Amino acid sequence: MLGVAGVTGADLVDEEPPAQEFWLWPENVDAWTLFLRCSTQWRGNGMRREGLDYQGVEIVMQRTGVRRRLRQQRFSEIQAMETACLEVWSRQLAEQAQG
């Protein structure tokens, strides 16, 4: 066995902090699920994300079976979550730049 006595692989890896538990109201589950499915649709350059590719979001809605009559509502919900993410990421970048 190679290595240092008493040190495991887990000791050598930076562990992420435990995920914070959160709850969704049942009426928000579909929008949240759709938002997660759109996670590959972010536009950006390097470390900065600029927003979602709305054409990609539309394709995700079509391919995941979101009914036409619900698409505008879902799109508005996705935009609200997008805005919240961009605000948080912007703050995080500002904090990193300061310290």
pTM: 0.75
Q: By percentage, how much of the chain surpasses pLDDT 90?
A: 64
CA separation for the pair 99, 14 (Å, rounded): 20
Separation in Å, CA 16 to CA 10, 13, 19, 20, 62: 12, 9, 8, 11, 34
Whether residue 33 contacts residue 41, with contact meaning beta carbons closer than 8 Å, is answered with no
Of the listed ranges 14-18, 21-25, 44-48, the one predicted with least confidence: 14-18
Give the pLDDT confidence score for residue 1 in this predicted structure: 41
Q: By percentage, how much of the chain surpasses pLDDT 70?
A: 85
Q: How many CB atoms lie within 10 A of CB 46?
A: 5
pLDDT digits (tens, 9 = 90+) for 63-75: 999 999 999 999 9
Give the pLDDT confidence score for residue 6 in this predicted structure: 52
Q: What one-character-per-residue DSSP string does 15-45 give?
A: PPPPPPP----GGGHHHHHHHHHGGGGEEEE
Give the pLDDT confidence score for residue 69 in this predicted structure: 97
CA separation for the pair 66, 91 (Å, rounded): 33
Over residues 28-38, mean pLDDT: 96
Whether residue 59 contacts residue 34, with contact meaning beta carbons closer than 8 Å, is answered with no
- In the chain, domain spans: 25-98
Give the pLDDT confidence score for residue 22 in this predicted structure: 85
